[in-house]
Amino acid sequence: MAKLLLVDDDPLLVRMYQKKLENDGYEIQTADDGDVALQKVDLFKPDLVLLDIMMPKINGYEVLKKLKANQKTKKIPVILLTNVGSSDSDIEKGMDLGAVAYLVKAGNRPSVVVSKVKEILGGYVREVPKVKAKIKA
Amino acid sequence: MSSGILILSLLSVGFWILVFTLHRLRFKLTLVPLYGLIAALVAYTHILSSFGASVTQGNLFFLVSSTAYFTSLLLGILLIYLFDGVEAARKGLEILVMVSFLQIIVVYTLHLIDPGHTFIPSTIENFKNYFWSITAMVADVVFMVIMWEWLSKIRHFTNYLKVPLLIFLVLTLDAFIFVSGVFAGTGNYLEILKSDIIVRFFLATIMGTVIAAYLTNSKYSEKERDKPRKVWDILDFRSALVRKVKSLEEIIRERQILEKKLRANSNDLAQAKAQSEAVLASIAEGLVVVASNGKFLFFNEQAKEILGLGPQKVVVTLWPKVYGMYYLNQEKVMSINDFQSLHALRGHSVMGEKIRIKNENIKSFKTIKINASPIKIASNIMGAAFTFTDITKEQEIEKAKDEFLSMASHELRTPLAAIDGIVAMIRDGEYGKISDEVRGGLDDVNTASENLIRLVNDLLSVSRIEAGRLKYNLSDFDINSVIKQVVDLYTPLATEQGLKLDITEVPKVIVQADQDKVNQIITNLISNSLKFTEKGKIIISVKHNGDYLDVSVSDTGRGIAKKDCPKLFGKFQQVGAESRKGSGLGLFIAKQMALKMGGDLILKSSRIGKGSVFALSLPKEGTDPAVRARREIEKEASLHPDQKSDNIEKK
């Protein structure tokens, strides 16, 4: 029973992903902003974090930085979820900060997200996408 | 008898000499000849008086009269100097000397012929003697001129030496006479001299030398003739003065005219300068003109304001450091090597460089656009002109536009993603088992939501394309991989429709393009073909086309009517009776993207009922069109540095 932390400020999407992931047998906790997310990481100790970028107060990149800076949390894989476009620089930024994957919500149904999660938890391989097509897969 | 012969020979010699001289002189004479005549006259008088008296009064009288004689002649020289200047005076002096010299000769000659003679023509008998003495006097003058010429010929003697030389000779003779007279006692010293062979020898030598010298001297006298000489200048003096004054007046008048012209010109110049200054002061842009040697020629007030300089500050450089020029996207002061506009000083136009500026007078960042052009005169670089425009406001507007577009994308897509995701999940039973009817309904919802997503993406693309804000990520890749990807994705759908998707490959060809967008274009073409083809197959083939690679998608579908062809790539064009799912923007967007990447998208051919062939051409890596496209895209990207990326494809 893998534990996932879902960080997103949009309740609709949160509920959607939560439904799917719970249906697939993951234990889910959610956070709707960065501060709460960091707290929950400490308490919940998830196996993977799904992190939205566009959030009020602190954005996803900041949270990612903090996670990777903290000894206790830096090993936890983070998948970045976003809804805006994915420019090479955005991806690079995310990957440089230590994210393990970068997914665009609007382009990928929840099932795709789940496959990604499985892939990563199954064998943690940090991919550095060189070609954008890879991300869509 | 002997006297007669001597007279005749003297006369003939004198006559020839006179002729030569007059020929040479041709009446272009200064006062000097006149002086010569007078001097000769005086000399003659002196001779007469001295010899008339000497018989009774002796040597003392001779000495006194000689002194008086010389003094009067010297006064004559002074007069010449006053009227004709130094040169003429010099000549006069020389003539004086020669007159004296000749005088002595004449005296000797006379006494050789007629010793004791008185020279006063009291009777007709004496007339022939008087005549003879006149002739002798004339010969005297002539002789003087000749002597002058002769001495002039001796080049080693300057004018200054000739005169002393003559004086020396004369004085020597005079001394000789005097001394011999003294020795001879009273009166008859001449008797002794008559028989003195030295005198005769001396006389003959002089005469002979003179004649020979004159005959060989004619060349020099030719030269002399060319110099213009004024006759009777004393009369011309006044007219010469008047003429001089007139020419001075002329000069003054001309000068006044010139001064007037100069004033007018400088007025015009000042006016033109004021005009151009007014023009330059009125423009809104800052203008700086720098000469190629680095000197600052012009720096208008607007430039000072835009760059945040106090009005007093004198400008001597355009170094970014001095003004606080920062990069657009970094918090760093620009290094001078990155300040592209300075290349204008080397003859390259640099247009539209954008910098940010912050300094003691500009508290918060201003964005400045710089245009730099070299100034050339006849293809020589004289300097450069820089214009500075404050585009802070424009930048803010652009930024707001970008943010709006991003926000719009985000705000539109979030709910769409939710709808799409949840519907899919419901259909998959994630929310519990559902009946087939429910599933059917959800299928339609799904289709609608997919359409909506596609439409939203297309609309956003179009608005980005229109605003020139669509971001292109160019890379060099093998086209076959992208084709394969799309074909793989659509094969199930094709099979469902009973259609075949075939690829004719060429060995690996690298094109330069935005991979995602190529994917999108090919997807669009294939999905269109699938839409409009009932049966048969869709073939995707790749062909070489010079600098380009052509990807043709040909189907065996409905085909496109001729009348519909021109509108095909327009906005919101749906061709065909039914408008199926599709925004009508697909081909428009696809063509715009193809063009932007340096290629094109065209309808190659189409026949009703037979099918259509669409061709997408893309530049091969490293070719000229590839380079051009890359440059264009980079230029556009630099205008919108904060540009968020492009649309997202929905699978």
Cα–Cα dist B566/B573, whole Å:
10
Q: SS3 for A35?
A: helix
Q: What local confidence, expressed as pLDDT, does residue B18 receive?
A: 63
Q: Which residues of A touch B428 (CB under 8 A)?
A: 111
Mutate to test the interface with A, among B648, B650, B651 (most CBs of A within 10 A): B648
What pLDDT is recorded for position B571?
Answer: 75
Q: List the single best residue of A23, A55, A130, A134 to mutate versus B (max B Cβ within 10 A).
A: A23
What is the distance in angstroms between the Cα of A45 and the nearest Cα belonging to chain B?
26
Percent of chain B topping pLDDT 90:
16
pLDDT in tens, A45-86: 889 999 988 888 888 888 888 888 888 888 888 998 877 665
Q: Answer yes or no: do B415 and A107 touch at CB < 8 A.
A: no
Show the tokens assigned to B586.
Answer: 């697909």
The span from the CA of B525 to the CA of B613, in Å, is 10
Task: Using pLDDT thresholds of 50, 70 and 90, give the confidence band for residue B81.
Answer: low
Q: Which residues of A touch B417 (CB under 8 A)?
A: 13, 83, 105-106
Instruction: Find the CB nearest B648 among A16, A54, A106.
Output: A106
Taking only the tens place, the pLDDT of each residue in B379-422 is: 888 999 999 999 999 888 888 887 787 778 778 888 888 888 88
Instruction: Using an 8 Å CB-CB cutoff, list chain B residues near A86.
Output: 645, 648
**Rounded CA gap, B104 and B102, in Å?**
5
Q: What is the ipTM of this complex?
A: 0.78
Residue A30: pLDDT band with limits 50, 70, 90: very high
Searching chain A, which residue's CA lies closest to the CA of residue B481? A133
The helix/strand/coil state of A15 is helix
Separation of alpha carbons B160 and B114, rounded Å: 38
Please list every residue in chain A whose beta carbon sits closer than 8 Å to the beta carbon of residue B651: 107, 136
Alpha carbons B139 and B36: distance in angstroms, whole number: 11
Q: Which of A16, A54, A84 sits opposite B425 (nearest CB)?
A: A16
Lowest mean pLDDT among B310-324, B402-416, B469-483: B310-324
SS3 B644: coil
| Mean pLDDT value of segment A86-112 | 79
Contacts of A132 in chain B (CB under 8 A): 473, 515-516
pLDDT at B27 over 80: no
B-chain CB neighbours of A102 within 8 Å are none
Percent of chain B with pLDDT over 70: 59
Selected residue of B516, B518, B633, B640 to mutate for chain A interface (largest A Cβ count, 10 A): B516
Nearest to B648 among A17, A19, A107 (CB): A107
Residues of chain B contacting residue A54, judged by C-beta atoms under 8 Å apart: 410
Tell me the C-alpha distance between B608 and B551, whole Å.
22
**pLDDT confidence of residue B385:** 92
**Cα→Cα distances A119→A74, A122, B3, Å:** 19, 5, 160
Q: Look at residue B508 and tell me whether its pLDDT is greater than 90.
A: no
pLDDT band at B140 (very low <50, low <70, confident <90, very high): very low
- Given an 8 Å threshold on Cβ–Cβ distance, is B519 in contact with A131? no
> In this predicted model, which residue has the larger pLDDT, A5 or B120?
A5
Instruction: Please state the rounded mean pLDDT for residues A30-51.
Output: 90
A86 touches chain B (CB under 8 A): yes
Q: Under an 8 A CB cutoff, do A106 and B516 touch?
A: no
Is the pLDDT higher at B476 or at B46? B476
Instruction: Kindly list the distances between the CA atom of residue B356 and the CA atoms of B324, B333, B350, B383, B625, in Å, as whole numbers in the listed order.
Output: 8, 9, 17, 24, 33
Greatest mean pLDDT range, B303-317, B381-395, B452-466, B495-509: B381-395
Written as one string, the DSSP assignment of B7-45 is: HHHHHHHHHHHHHHHHHHHTT---HHHHHHHHHHHHHHH
Helix or strand run (H / E) with residue A93: helix A88-97
Checking if the pLDDT of B491 tops 50, the result is: yes
> CA B19 to CA B229: how far, in whole Å?
20
Average pLDDT taken over every residue of chain A: 81
Q: How far is A8 from chain B (nearest CA, A)?
A: 12
The verdict on A135 touching B (C-beta cutoff 8 Å) is no
CB A60 within 8 A of CB A90: no
| Stretch among A63-72, B404-413, B496-505, B619-628 having the lowest mean pLDDT | B404-413
How distant is the Cα of B489 from the closest Cα of chain A, in angstroms? 11
Q: Do A111 and B424 touch (CB under 8 A)?
A: yes
The size of the A-B interface in CB pairs under 8 A is: 91
Please report the pLDDT score of residue B353 as a whole number: 86
Q: How close A90 comes to chain B (CA, Å)?
A: 9
CA dist., res. B168 & res. B145, Å (int): 18
Q: What is the pLDDT of residue B371?
A: 92
- Among chain B residues, CA nearest to A23: B430
Question: Tokens 């204008």, residue?
Answer: B344
CB B545 within 8 A of CB B570: no
Given pLDDT bands bounded at 50, 70 and 90, which one contains residue B215?
A: very low
Q: Which residues contact B533 (CB under 8 A, 6 or more apart)?
A: B497, B499, B555, B556, B557, B558, B611
Average pLDDT, chain B: 73
Is pLDDT above 90 for B42?
no
With CA atoms as reference, the chain A residue closest to B409 would be A84
Q: What would the two tokens of residue B65 be?
A: 């009269």
Please name the member of B415, B421, B516 whose beta carbon is closest to the beta carbon of A109.
B421
Determine whether the interchain pair A105/B422 forms a contact, defined as Cβ–Cβ distance below 8 Å. no
pLDDT of residue B28: 46
Q: CB B553: neighbour CB atoms within 10 A?
A: 24
Q: Which residue of B has its CA nearest to A106?
A: B417
Q: Residue B144: which of B258, B333, B18, B241 has the closest Cα?
A: B18
Span B419-443, pLDDT tens digits: 888 898 899 888 889 999 999 999 9
Whether residue B552 is predicted with pLDDT greater than 90 in this model: the reply is yes
B21 vs B499 pLDDT, higher one: B499
pLDDT at B299 over 60: yes
A3/A27 Cα distance (integer angstroms): 5
Chain A residues touching residue B516 (CB < 8 angstroms): 132-133
Helix (H, G, I), strand (E, B) or coil at B334: coil
Any B CB within 8 A of A57 CB: no
Instruction: Kindly report, residue by residue over B509-542, the tens digit of the pLDDT.
Output: 889 999 989 998 999 999 888 888 888 889 999 9
Contact B471 A87 (CB under 8 A): yes
CB contact under 8 A, B425 and A20: yes
Average pLDDT over residues B73-80: 65
Q: pLDDT value at position B219? A: 40
**B241 band by pLDDT with thresholds 50, 70 and 90:** confident
How far is Cα B11 from Cα B133, in angstroms, rounded to an integer? 11
* Res B349: pLDDT: 87
What pairing do the DSSP bridges indicate for beta strands B380-390 and B286-291?
antiparallel
Q: What tokens does B626 get? A: 């590839």
Q: Give the nearest chain A residue to B449 (CA atoms).
A: A106
How far from chain centre, in Å, is Cα B168? 68
* pLDDT of B265: 92
List CB contacts of B51: < 8 A, sequence separation 6 or more: B107, B110, B117, B118, B119
Interface test with B, best of A105, A111, A134 (most B CBs within 10 A): A105
Q: Does A56 touch chain B (CB under 8 A)?
A: no
Q: Which of B413, B515, B651 comes nearest A132 by C-beta?
A: B515
Per the model's pLDDT, the better-predicted residue between B140 and B343 turns out to be: B343
> For residue B226, what pLDDT is reported?
42
Strands B325-326 and B296-299: unpaired
B603: β partners: B614
| Record: contact A23-B430, CB cut-off 8 A | yes
